[in-house]
Amino acid sequence: MPLTGGQGAEAPPHALRLDGVRFAYGRHAVLDGVSLHVGAGEFVALTGPNGSGKSTLVRVALGLTAAQAGTVHLFGEPSGSLRQRWRVGYVPQRALLVDHLPATVEEVVASGCVARRGWARRPRPDDATRVKRALDVVALSDRRLVPITELSGGQQQRAFIARALVSDPELLVLDEPIAGVDAESQSRFRDALVTRCREEGVAVLLVSHELGAVADDLDRLLLLRGGKVVFDGPPSDLTRGGVSLGVHRTDLPVWLEGLG
Amino acid sequence: MTLPLPWPFDREYMQLALASGIVVGACAPLIGTFLVQKRLSLMGDGVGHMAFAGVAAGLLAGVSPLWTALAVAVIGAMTIEWLRLRRRASGDLALAVFFYTGIAGGVVLTGLAGSLNAGVLTYLFGSVLTVSPADALSICVLGVGILAVIAVSWRAMFAVVLDEEAARVAGLPVDALSLGLAALTAVTVVAAMRVVGVLLVAALMVLPVGSAQRVAGSFASTLRWAVGIGVGSVIVGLAVARAGGLAPGGTIVLVASAAFALTAILDPRRRRARTA
């Protein structure tokens, strides 16, 4: 039985910790004994080829899918028994919007406040402040009253990042947030994440096929292949081995096939 | 008791129709706004057909058909939602399975009940012109209950229909809210169908919402527009039906359909977006 995510008596527990997680569809093992951790204020990216199990790993880490073996801890507590779920912010893979969904950007962002204050409670005055701040972070304040369906893909993604930020989460999990997003949105996105991480000590797990604008800001890079973590270390360790993230950052997993 | 209202609402039966119609015209679209976002637009109709089996079972067993209809409809609606939540079936497939099982069960049970056929029909196809004062009162009580539930939970239900998984990650009680909405739908349809007819309540859950989505610019205003269009359709529909001697339930629904056609053609929201 692994320790409950603690590294010692004084150190705070990891925001996210997976130990020996296994998950299989039938006989096909998607996650084959995955162990990883993300600490407070750490900016970690998880990458890997298509079908390497990235999305399943995200679902298991967030408790949307149960691991068949192994343990998942959030803030030192077993995932299932964490009561303050709002401490985890989640940006899903290109959220699929209902056509005609009649909601403004502001309403979408404000929906991220509901869980933290309690589902049946009315909005509090400071909720409006939180929403305003989150919209500022992703630079969508001037579009707050526009229906979300009228935004570009990159802007919609920024709105969903703001929704995740609005409850002041301590762990942010982002699933392919920058795929096909315009350059301006990518750089806004990078600034928002780096600020949360460095200044507010938020733990960030970015799951992505491409690292784009954030490659230089990462503390660690995890490479998942065949359901196993085959590399876990600072990106500079890869660079030292002759890998240039500068050239390959947009299509990293394909290039990394040959490693490990 | 007759209120001094102008024609066409000068008679007591028209006033009772107006009162119960307005309550249904306001509450059905409120619930329907969430169902439409969940792609369960036909839930109201499906629940009505399950209630058919419940009514027949009640008549056959000699217990109050209203209660058996309510039990069958609530259990059926919650099972549809449970199958969807557990990903055992897509929402529309689960709905279709229960819809047809309900009709088939109802047909077989009424066959057994034989001479009670006519009784089944009065439970399913009530008419808004034959509402009794007691019926109108019970509809109003139901309406107040629905308004209270929606007023408390609409923000959480919006978060769920917007993104069910993100709501789950954030710790919202997604299952309880979804099952609660399904149960509320069933209660509304069963309570209202005997009074105003299953066609009227199921149609008013969907048509005003479709129109409102093309007019409103936000979710909150969609709720307001849907209620406004629902209530407006009832008032206009009742007046037209009396003037022309038409079937009131059908006329109200046709007015709501006309409103939908109008908003689909004009599409004010898209037009605004283009000029912005």
Q: Which of A86, A95, A104 sits opposite B217 (nearest CB)?
A: A104
* Residues of chain A above pLDDT 90, percent: 51
DSSP-based three-state secondary structure for A202: coil
Q: Do A86 and B171 touch (CB under 8 A)?
A: yes
Q: Do B37 and A101 touch (CB under 8 A)?
A: yes
Residue B238, pLDDT score: 96
Number of neighbours of residue A75 by Cβ within 10 angstroms: 21
Most B CBs within 10 Å, among A99, A105, A114, A173, to test the B interface = A114
Torsion (CA) B15, B17, B20, B25 in degrees, nearest 10: -110
Q: Do B217 and A92 touch (CB under 8 A)?
A: no
Residue B197, pLDDT score: 86
DSSP A147-194: BGGGS-HHHHHHHHHHHHHTT--SEEEEESTTTT--HHHHHHHHHHHH
Least confident of A83-92, A230-239, B174-183, B203-212: A230-239
Residue B150, pLDDT score: 95
Element (H, E) at A225: strand A220-225
CA distances from B77 to B49, B59, B84 (A): 11, 21, 11
Work out how many CB contacts closer than 8 A connect A with B: 95
* Model confidence at B14: pLDDT above 80: yes
If you measure CA to CA, which chain B residue comes closest to A96? B163
Residue A16, pLDDT score: 97
Rounded average pLDDT over A195-199: 87
Residue B52, pLDDT score: 87
User: Quick one: which of B166, B175, B170 has its CA closest to B87?
Assistant: B175
Rounded average pLDDT over B227-256: 96
**Mean pLDDT of chain B, nearest integer:** 90
Distance from CA of B236 to the nearest CA of A (A): 26
| pLDDT band, very low/low/confident/very high, at B91 (cuts 50, 70, 90) | confident
Residue range A153-174, pLDDT digits in tens:
888 888 999 999 999 999 999 9
* Model confidence at A64: pLDDT above 50: yes
* Model confidence at A1: pLDDT above 50: no
* Model confidence at B82: pLDDT above 90: yes
| pLDDT band, very low/low/confident/very high, at A189 (cuts 50, 70, 90) | confident
Residue A205, pLDDT score: 95
Residue B194, pLDDT score: 78
CA distances from B2 to A254, B9, B11, B120, B143 (A): 79, 10, 7, 31, 22
Residue A100, pLDDT score: 66
Q: What is the rounded CA–CA span in Å between residue A62 and residue B169? A: 6
| pLDDT band, very low/low/confident/very high, at B137 (cuts 50, 70, 90) | very high
**What is the β-pairing status of strands A69-74 and A16-25?**
antiparallel
Most B CBs within 10 Å, among A64, A86, A119, to test the B interface = A119
Distance from CA of A22 to the nearest CA of B (A): 20
Q: What is the rounded CA–CA span in Å between residue A65 and residue A73? A: 14
Two structure tokens written together for A123 = 């909005």
Distance from CA of A88 to the nearest CA of B (A): 7
| pLDDT band, very low/low/confident/very high, at A127 (cuts 50, 70, 90) | very high
* Model confidence at A176: pLDDT above 90: no
Distance from CA of B45 to the nearest CA of A (A): 22
Q: Do B171 and A95 touch (CB under 8 A)?
A: no
* Model confidence at B75: pLDDT above 80: yes
* Model confidence at A6: pLDDT above 50: no
Distance from CA of A119 to the nearest CA of B (A): 5
User: Quick one: which of A56, A62, A55, A66 has its CA closest to A38?
Assistant: A62
* Model confidence at A246: pLDDT above 50: yes
B-chain residues near A62 (CB < 8 A): 169
Residue A9, pLDDT score: 54
Rounded average pLDDT over B98-124: 80
Q: Estimate to the nearest angstrom the gap between the alpha carbon of A175 and the chain centroid.
A: 6
What ipTM was assigned to the predicted interfaces of this complex? 0.90
Q: Do B169 and A123 touch (CB under 8 A)?
A: no
**Mean pLDDT of chain A, nearest integer:** 85
**What is the β-pairing status of strands A77-78 and A69-74?**
antiparallel
Element (H, E) at A107: helix A105-110
Least confident of A67-71, A104-108, A251-255, B46-50: A251-255
Residue range B20-45, pLDDT digits in tens:
999 999 999 999 999 999 888 999 99
Rounded average pLDDT over A78-88: 91
Q: Do B219 and A167 touch (CB under 8 A)?
A: no
Q: What is the rounded CA–CA span in Å between residue B156 and residue B172? A: 8
Residue range A199-221, pLDDT digits in tens:
889 999 999 877 777 878 899 99
Q: What is the rounded CA–CA span in Å between residue B227 and residue B248? A: 19
Helix B117-124, helix B43-61: angle, nearest 10: 150
Q: What is the rounded CA–CA span in Å between residue B79 and residue B82? A: 5
| pLDDT band, very low/low/confident/very high, at A71 (cuts 50, 70, 90) | very high
